[in-house]
Structure 1
Amino acid sequence: MANYIDSVLIGGERVIHRANLSMWNELPLLLLGVVLLPLFGAGLLVFLAIYIKVKSTELAITNKRVIAKFGFISRSTVELNINKIESLQVHQTLLGRLFNFGSLVIAGAGEPQAPIPGIARPLEFRRYFMEAQEQATQLAAR
């Protein structure tokens, strides 16, 4: 599978941090797959759907933007200029805190909020984002 993020990088842009979805976010579907496994292997289809969803989602912070790509056959992307992002919120449920996953909500200047659900290690993602935004701000000030 070709890597979407690497294919859309522009001149002088480099990836600072990559993230992925958490399998724990798919716990209800995983349990459904276990229940359906004895029914002619129907659970295997559920497991395959989860695998495709997790593997076909790409998340990255570059020195210029935040990029998120969802989907295998149909594709949905969110690409926000790092200097235009006003806030990055982390939402974690109790289960999310226990298993270190959560949702990110990115709000940009003049742009609607862009939710990214089920990301693994969301606080780490936020830390890398804050560092990248600080570096971009310092470069712009020069």
Structure 2
Amino acid sequence: MGKYIDNNLIKDEKVELETTYHWIIFCNLRSIITLGLAPIIDKYTDEFAITNKRVIIKTGLISRKTFEMNHSKIESVNVDQGILGRIFGYGTIRIVGSGGTKEVFPKINSPLEFRKKFQEMSN
């Protein structure tokens, strides 16, 4: 479990599912230019989790961006997968919150499992 998530769990909250970026993040120009360093930093510092109470996502090493939303405030978790995403098991997660807020997280490992766990936890 990630350090950010561990430090920000509230009383009686437990992590139900945690995921990370798919290895496909190493297959792009950014990875080549930074000799693989940028995707390594992303993979080991960004955290994606579903707890029994909310969804918690933290991205960034120096400049941090966090997304934390209670299950009751999330309208839907959508998954976008192209043909390569379906073959290799990665995709984009789009979280739509009440009030129209939208957060997009690309190249996530096992996005269908993430969506399924969210649906299980929100029922």
Normalised by the length of structure 2, the TM-score is 0.92
The 8 Å contact of residues 25 and 96 in structure 1, kept in 2 or not, is answered as no
Which blocks of at least 5 consecutive residues in structure 1 are unaligned?
34-42, 135-142
Per-residue deviation, residues 52-89 of structure 1 (Å, max 9, x unmatched)? 01111100000110011001111001111111111110
Q: In structure 1, what is the equivalent of residue 92 of structure 2?
A: 103
Q: Does 1:124 align with 2:102?
A: no
Partner residue in 2 for 1:38: none
Equivalent residue, structure 1, for 2:68: 79
Extract structure 1 runs of 4+ deviating beyond 2 A.
Answer: none
Structure 2 residue aligned with 1:93, among 82, 93, 115?
82
**1:86/1:49 Cα in 2 relative to 1: closer, same or farther (>3 Å)?**
same
- What's the Cα RMSD here? 1.6
Counterpart residue identity of residue 128, structure 1: K
User: As a proportion of its length, which structure holds more strand?
Assistant: 2
Greater CA radius of gyration, 1 or 2?
A: 1
Structure 2: how far apart are the matches of 1:70 and 1:4?
10
For the residue of structure 2 that corresponds to 1:74, the secondary structure is coil
* C-alpha distance in 1 between matches for 2:6 and 2:79: 25
More helix by share: 1
The alignment of Structure 1 onto Structure 2 pairs a total of residues equal to: 122
> Identity over aligned residues, as a percent?
42
Deviations along 1:4-60, one digit per CA (max 9) or x if unpaired, are: 001110111111100111121442237x62xxxxxxxxx6x3311110011111000
What is the TM-score with the length of structure 1 in the denominator? 0.80
Stretches of structure 2 that go unaligned for 5 or more consecutive residues are none
